[in-house]
Structure 1
Amino acid sequence: MEVIANTRDVQGKGASRRLRRQGKTPGVVYGGGKDAVNIELDHNALFHALKRETFHASILTLAIDGAREAVLLRDYIMHPFRMEVQHIDFQRVDKTQKIHVKVPLHFINADIAPGVKLAAGVVTHIMTDLDVSCLADNLPEFIAVDLADLQAGHSIHLSELKLPAGVEAVSHRGDDSAVVTIVVPRGAVAEEAAETAVAPAAMPPAA
């Protein structure tokens, strides 16, 4: 995915406000053993790009005045109440060094999970993305979490995820955290209990 930008020479709050009035978003690209470069981007194109999941967890091609380099989106600031991107940061990627990135989780086969299909359970996403470490060429767009065998009251944990080759999960807690679980709502439990209750014994015949 290519992002078009131009270098900007002016800095400061006043200059940034003028850029925004012109439909531009100020930003910066840094890292990779090079000096940071102040840039400006077309706001509308950037705003729509930010709606795409791949923009947040993929290696991007940043074209600055025609020169291209590989980058990652690192941060962006939205206006408190307007639909306006106020600033954006990109980090250059060294393809020989591992990067640390949040990758989205895609939950598949929820409709056929036994906990949903047989027990009327509700899928609860405890995590929606995963911190991973890998080389840039191994970075996946997403990680699939298969719920096909998940029973009600059970969870899938970090150790059970099938990660692509060369990709490692980075656990900050140092434990095997739950990623997703299936919970049966209280109403469904009560209804099931009522249906399986033993019927009252028949009254003995009158003498």
Structure 2
Amino acid sequence: MEDFEKKVKITETMEIEEKEESNNNSSKTLDLLRRFLSVQQCRAQAYVKLKRGFSDYMVSGVELAYQQLCSEVTVEFNDCSKQVLEMESMFRNSDFCRADLAQLIRVVQTQEKQKLHLTATIQVLKKAGRPSDRLVSHENCRFKKPMEHECVHVHEITEAAGTEEAEADAEYDNALKEAIRGVQDSVTAINEHLEEVRYEIAALEADI
């Protein structure tokens, strides 16, 4: 009888320890997922800063301030990426064994990379402007009098030249539309995956 009671106690103790360990793992997973959402929030704030800075640049034309902002934001994005890669690695190790969550945040990381690349592409295109709208520089023109000069840019508008300009404009418009569509697709994919993370957090909170 004593042996039976000892076995029961040992079993109960093991069950309690297993439950505590399971709760502990769930708690650690929960903390890591919350941290991941926090990093995503930092990314969102960096995008707001970048968008605002670019809008200011397009109005003011002050290149230096815009370049400084790009450098600052790049550091922020790199820091976010580094943290996410660390989390992915942690989810894959033996303490967590959650390859599913590692894969989930890896997909988000890939989409974020694509979104940033396309955002930069959009800004570069908008800075350059449509080919037909670009301002002409007169630095190579010959000036006879202060207010008069022979403009090297004046040329007879031929049908071929007009077609070439229209094609350049169409190429520019398509590139811009494609980049904008790509950003929208990335944002949609990221939001869907973040929703999965939130569901996982809710499930873990319910279990603890």
Please state which band the TM-score falls in when normalised by the shorter chain: under 0.3
Kindly indicate which of the two structures has a greater share of residues assigned to strand: 1
Say which structure, 1 or 2, has more relative contact order (CA 8 Å, 6+ apart): 2
TM-score, length-scaled by structure 1: 0.26
Q: Specify the structure having the higher radius of gyration (Cα).
A: 2
Kindly indicate which of the two structures has a greater share of residues assigned to helix: 2
